[in-house]
Amino acid sequence: MKKFYSRSSKNYWISIVSVLFSVSFLFSQNEKKENEFKPSGKVWGYMFGDFFYKADGLAEAGPDSFTVAKGDTLVKIKRWGDTEFAKVPKNFYAFTFRRIYLGYDYQFTPQISSRILLESNDGILTPGGDRTVFIKLLNLEWKNILPNQTLKLGQIGTPTWQTFVEPQWGYRSVEKTIFDMRRIGRSNDVGIGISGIVLDRKTRSSDSAGISKQVLNISYNAVWGNGMASKPENNSLKVFYGEIIFKFLGCISLEGYGEYDYSDNVYPSGANKGKKYSTAKSIYRGFLGYENEYFAGGIESIKQFQENVKIAAIDSATDIKKDTSLLTQTGLSLWAKGTIIKEKLFVFVRHDFFNSDAGRRGWEYYRQDNDARRYNEKFYLIGVDWRPARNIQVMPNLWINSYKDMSSNEIDFRATGSKEFLTKSVNRKADIVARITLFYKF
């Protein structure tokens, strides 16, 4: 009897162990299936807009406009400007959408994904005046195609400001970076891009948490594209964009950017009408930034050279050199932002200098019926950032752009050939705008 019970007990324990092993195996298989990658996609987007009031500045035309003499005729000048409120009349106020993004990302594999992004704003309208959309991005991305390197194909973001400088500034919802604000460069282009990390040096972990600290990180972004942004290509020439970024000690960043654009054109009028000429544009930027848990600041310096830029002169037939000329534009942007209440309340300030014609080619090269490029401009911004909930920001801010006339008060006898042309200075009031900006994302 003892022998029988012993054998039965042994079989009993073997059965229990077998059942437990089977259950454990099934659970591990289910867990493995749950952790397996599954292709999937997600919808995302954000919006920012304002309620604004333009307290001072000039209207596009009216009593604040100015006139110049073209022969025996007085010509009324329409006001010019590339900034957000340059052409908005004084005392105007409105609610506005400055950007609406709707995007969809799809992950084919852990390394390969795609993105389509649609954009709308109050400046993108149908012929009937309703808001509409356009394709901002449409691309395929392959991460780690080489170790720490990413390849992008299609309509992709350029490193002009989108990849590094704009995220460092962090307040695109309030104002663009200086390149973007002054309409220099492109945020996207159709082509091929590659980016990656060249060096990532960290200290050995010495604290109890085992966290290593960054010593030096070097990365880059490069794009070769059509140079037409979201428009279809119309010639065989291409544009190169390149950026290199150095990060030191986890708090200091240094960035350099360059862009080269070459194209062929045809003189539309004048003594050289119908003849071909080439234009070349090169853009450079340097950026220095600092950030810690409670404060960040940055300095951005820009320069653009344009060779044989097309100038519409009054009487180019009598002076060949007025058909094309050199144009140099320079700018400097300084900004800072800080924390007042962690995760809830922040403050930001910014001051820009911009010279739209640093070469000063002389008044005879300007269009006489437009005040384009005749001013040195200074920009001021101050605001508060309140975050009542995650992904929602309410930002009261004061926006100011001032102008200083660069014209010489001289009489130019060559502008019209037979009639003299008085080029008097024109004082332009600063654009002063009070805003409440709303930003949210999902």
Contacts made by residues 236-244, CB under 8 angstroms, sequence distance 24+: 237/262, 237/263, 237/264, 238/191, 239/189, 241/158, 241/159, 241/160, 241/189, 242/159, 243/159, 243/163, 243/164, 244/218, 244/219, 244/220
pLDDT: is 2 or 22 the higher one?
22
This model's pTM is above 0.85: no
Report the range of poorest mean pLDDT among 70-84, 326-340, 408-422. 408-422
What percent of the chain stands above pLDDT 70? 71
Residue 104, pLDDT score: 98
Residue 393, pLDDT score: 98
pLDDT tens digits, residue range 190-200? 999 999 999 99
Residues 423, 68: Cα–Cα separation, whole Å: 7
Residue 411, pLDDT score: 43
Report the range of poorest mean pLDDT among 252-261, 349-358, 394-403. 349-358
pLDDT: is 82 or 31 the higher one?
82
Over residues 79-107, the mean pLDDT reads: 90
pLDDT: is 396 or 272 the higher one?
396
Over residues 327-348, the mean pLDDT reads: 95
Q: Quick check: 355 pLDDT over 80?
A: yes
Asked whether the beta carbons of 378 and 355 are under 8 A apart, the reply is no
Helices (H), 171-232: 178-181
Over residues 159-178, the mean pLDDT reads: 96
Q: Quick check: 284 pLDDT over 50?
A: yes
314: left (phi > 0), else alpha (psi -120 to 50), else beta? Answer: alpha
What are the residue ranges spanned by the domains of the chain? Answer: 45-441
Residues 85, 155: Cα–Cα separation, whole Å: 29
Asked whether the beta carbons of 126 and 165 are under 8 A apart, the reply is no
pLDDT tens digits, residue range 4-14? 445 556 666 66
Fold for domain 45-441? Porin (2.40.160)
Q: Quick check: 362 pLDDT over 50?
A: no
